Amino acid sequence: MLSIIQAAGWPIWPLIVCSVLAMALVIERLLSLKPSRIAPPTLLDEVLRVARESVPSPDVVNRLATHSALGEVLASGLYALNANPQCSEEDLRASMEGAGREVAHRMERYLSALATIASAAPLLGLLGTVIGMIEIFGAQSPNSGTNPAQLAHGISVALYNTAFGLMVAIPSLIFWRYFRARVDAYLLTLELAAERFLRHLKTLRRLA
């Protein structure tokens, strides 16, 4: 591997930095977008069971808010109802929508950076290719003829950088599309759960 880096020359170093950043972002998003941290399958039913007849205590709501992203959205409605038992449906909806926007922003964190790496890596590889071609033409002197060593080095710079740029860009693009689809699915799940919970909160508001 070290010999490849040496043969590719300095243009490969920005690509190495991009590959490290992309790997770190992928690992971070894989951990952050686990279902248990975003939308546990049984959480909504558990909350509906606990809040069947009355609004849970603030301690219970606080634990719910720190449980997961879905818990944070549901807890926002309970916070509003605890603060004002006679609050309007518009207030409840606005509170949950605000929490949902914050959650959506956190789920989409770093995705733009990963997309940027996927777009920039081929261009950085192309830059290395151009630099390698410049070295190839620079190795051909009209007086001393062609320098085979410098010619080979220029070709290696061109080809290694092109290949490495694609090796960084392709996985980055695949993971970006995967995370984008996962976030969209989570957002739909949160929206449907919030609508169902809002109907339940309207019942609790009438009972309060």
CA dihedral 46→48→51→93, nearest 10 degrees, is 130
The arithmetic mean of pLDDT across residues 181-195, rounded, is: 95
Using a pLDDT cut of 90, give the percent of the chain over it: 57
The arithmetic mean of pLDDT across residues 16-28, rounded, is: 95
Is the pLDDT higher at 96 or at 12?
96
Q: In whole angstroms, give the CA distance from residue 160 to residue 200.
A: 60
| Structure tokens that stand for 4 in this block | 């490849």
CA dihedral 97→114→178→162, nearest 10 degrees, is 160
Number of separate domains in the chain: 1
CA proximity to 123, closest of 162, 170, 154: 162
Would you call 52 helix, strand, or coil by DSSP? coil
Q: Which domain holds residue 89?
A: 2-207
Q: What is the pLDDT of residues 50-98, one digit of tens each?
A: 888 788 888 999 999 999 999 999 999 999 888 888 888 888 899 999 9
**Of the ranges 4-18, 29-43, 141-155, which is most confident?**
29-43
Bridge partners, residue 140, by sequence: 146
Identity of the residue numbered 136 = I
What phi and psi, each to the nearest 5 degrees, are found at residue 40?
-60, 135
Q: How many CB atoms lie within 10 A of CB 166?
A: 14
Identify the pLDDT of residue 140. 60
